[in-house]
Structure 1
């Protein structure tokens, strides 16, 4: 007989339904699930990880209450910096490209920070 956890082919220990590697792990509380518990007696798929609090977003959070898509780059996200007391992380002028440029991506030219069009930024909800 093999271990009860998903994709584990190791033999079970006497008197247990788990192998030596998984002997101290718990199963998800969902009866038919064979995944390991992540938090709150559930695996990630069944609610062990918190979801982003942004309306309509179903992405798992990394830290706090927001996913990486909703955080600014200063707080571990992917969005350009907005709305804090401290200055944004600086990029060199060669790294900034205006996304609304009608040219194809291969033809886009780097744009300096002081001339870049920032109207494309979405509001970022950081703590």
Structure 2
């Protein structure tokens, strides 16, 4: 099993964001065999997800609209952060098979490759779904 990254190196002393990244990592890697070359992608997914959660907390605390330097209402800068990181999160979900569509697609590619691959419960379930087998 690949070891979880040291989140404090990324987030410093922010315990909530560190805890968020760890929780996302745990959920994303549960029942999976994470290969060494996938570690960075899973870590980036967890980091981006934790940053979005932090930005959401900022918006919840401050509101979506702030008063700008000249007194004019402006959108909270965290909204831009959420939009940027969310696109990356979606791309990583698709690449890593972290949503049901991509998991089924990836399982179909594995099934059709004729090569032995990951036999984790999540992958086996996706293969059965693609093959039309009931559990």
| TM-score by shorter chain over 0.5 | no
- Please state which structure has a larger fraction of its residues in helix: 2
Q: TM-score range by the shorter chain?
A: under 0.3
Whichever of the two has the greater Rg, that structure is: 1
So what's the TM-score if we normalise by structure 1?
0.23
- Please state which structure has a larger fraction of its residues in strand: 2
So what's the TM-score if we normalise by structure 2?
0.22
